[in-house]
Amino acid sequence: MVLNLRFQDYISIKLHKTDLVLTSFIKSKLEPFNLAPEQNLIMMLLWEQDGLTQNQLGKMLNKDKTNITRMTSSLEKKELIKRLQWPQDKRVTKIYLTSKGSDLGNQVIPVAEQFNKVVCKDLSGEELAELDRLLTKISRNVQSI
């Protein structure tokens, strides 16, 4: 069998390699805070808007209920969040930051901001907008299959 393109010319391979580099870098930066990159995504969403439901987190992160439950359980054990049933609907669980979780944001958010600066270095606003447009288009292409 012959590949139509060289291995390194497949866009999916380039995206995968980039994701591995980004994940490895942010993982090393988050290690002192005992946060995995995926856990940090939940925390960042909560630092932006506390009291999201597990379903909202799942939709925002494109993760299934089982993954969100596992990640929030781990964050709860670290005493960074608390899960509370919504009194109006016992089927709904809302996620809130603890004071420890809120305080952690003061340390981690600057790391995330610096990470973003490194990633976006030498990219213009137009290039970032185009990258966002293209990545969104690629995601839609795959989701439409």
- β 81-86/89-97 pair status: antiparallel
Where in the chain are the domains?
Answer: 8-143
Q: Are 34 and 92 in contact (CB under 8 A)?
A: no
Domain over 8-143 is classified CATH 1.10.10.10? yes
pLDDT digits (tens, 9 = 90+) for 68-120: 999 999 999 999 999 998 888 888 889 999 999 999 999 999 999 999 999 99
Q: Full-prediction pTM beyond 0.95?
A: no
Query: In the structure encoding, which two tokens stand for residue 98, read together?
Result: 């603890």
Place of tokens 């109006």: 88
